[in-house]
Structure 1
């Protein structure tokens, strides 16, 4: 089974690229951030550890208090590392189950903003990095999340720079023009299914 890591900084448009890949029938897509959020609400192991490490305010009526957690971790690298150490092992286990369920597919796209930072790149056969210029990324996140520029920049500080990801990638996609991005995705899909 080919695992294709798909990464890029916040606002680069990774999910848009993942959705383009999803248009191909025989491809399974795993969005680590989405699955992590689901697990933070459904996994008793994660819940107990978050409450132990960050306090009872971590959940309101048994639902993750995302604003509380975000305020704690995005300005504090130690707290962010603590959070990642709790959530990532469970996401990895969940992803292994996903691979078993989808072993009939041509390949699996594993979309993860912190693919390199979490060392998840180590179990990928191919890595694709999506990037865009910094102003485009900031504007995308502000319009998507109603974040402030300062909040976006803080989140960017916790991720690797694009050039560090690019030099370790098999393919790179500049995601500025959607038509061009879609063509690039088609070419990569063709290589992965015909030539690989």
Structure 2
């Protein structure tokens, strides 16, 4: 079973994934981490990114994230092009990860743009992590040392929370960590009972 986990920027998806990582009977795939690795190691992705965004997209063979972000987060068409280059390779990688982990009760597949890129279509269940927008903005400003305006631009490129939650099986309200832990345990117990 594939359980998608998503949520808007700053909702605390990574915190929730850490809470799920305590369970030995699941495997966790973090799309963003794997995409970053593949953007540095996949010749196919590298060649397409250079062709689309220019040579300065890599410096000393390392992805120039700041340069790429400055282009794609202000231009929806460029963001769509980036996604069309990276996502097929990530999806292929995910499929091989799923095959290697068939002994697990379920695979938790964390993807910030699960709905936006259509990955929800192969998830059996979906969890959306939420938090009030002002909390999310403050978290990202602190975490990324960025501006409120920059965070708002990134939020604009994601589906709104209501649209996500309406298509989710579970919602984790991630403000109080004790409450978040209780919700994670409850969902995990339900998912593992659901399987057996």
Count of aligned pairs: 195
TM-score normalised over the length of structure 2: 0.98
Structure 1 counterpart of 2:27: 28
Match in the other structure for 2:109: 110
Paired residues for 1:59-70 under 5 Å:
59-70=58-69
Cα deviation for residue 150 of structure 1 reads 0.5
Structure 1 residue runs of 4 or more that deviate by more than 2 Å after TM superposition:
none
The 5-angstrom pairing of residues 67-106 of structure 1 reads 67-106=66-105
- The normalised TM-score by structure 1 is 0.98
Gapped runs of 5+ residues in structure 2? Answer: none
- Listed one character per residue, the Cα deviations across residues 122-170 of structure 1 (whole Å, up to 9, x for unaligned) are 0000000000000100011011110110110000000000000000000
Quote the offset at 1:30 in angstroms: 0.6
Match of 2:37 in 1: 38
Q: Determine the C-alpha separation between the residues in 1 that align with 2:75 and 2:178.
A: 38
Distance 1:158 1:42 in 2: 26
1:49 counterpart residue number: 48
The secondary structure found in structure 1 opposite 2:27 is: strand
Partners of 2:194 and 2:77 in 1: how far apart?
A: 43
In structure 2, distance between residues paired with 1:170 and 1:58? 38
Residues 67-116 of structure 1, C-alpha deviations (whole Å, 9 max, x = no match): 11000100000100000000000000000011011111010000001000
Q: Hey, what does 1:192 align to over in structure 2?
A: 191
- Residue equivalent to 1:159: 158
- Is the counterpart of residue 180 in structure 1 residue 179 in structure 2? yes
Give, in whole Å, the separation in 2 of the partners of 1:145 and 1:27: 30
For residues 178 and 100 of structure 2, the distance between their equivalents in structure 1, rounded to whole angstroms, comes to 32
Counterparts of 1:106 and 1:151, CA distance in 2: 39
Instruction: Give the deviation of 1:195 after TM superposition.
Output: 3.0
| Superposition CA RMSD, Å | 0.6
Q: For 1:175 and 1:160, how far apart are their aligned partners in 2?
A: 18
SS in 2 for 1:138: helix
Could you say which residue in structure 2 is the equivalent of 1:5? 4
Unaligned runs of 5+ in 1: none
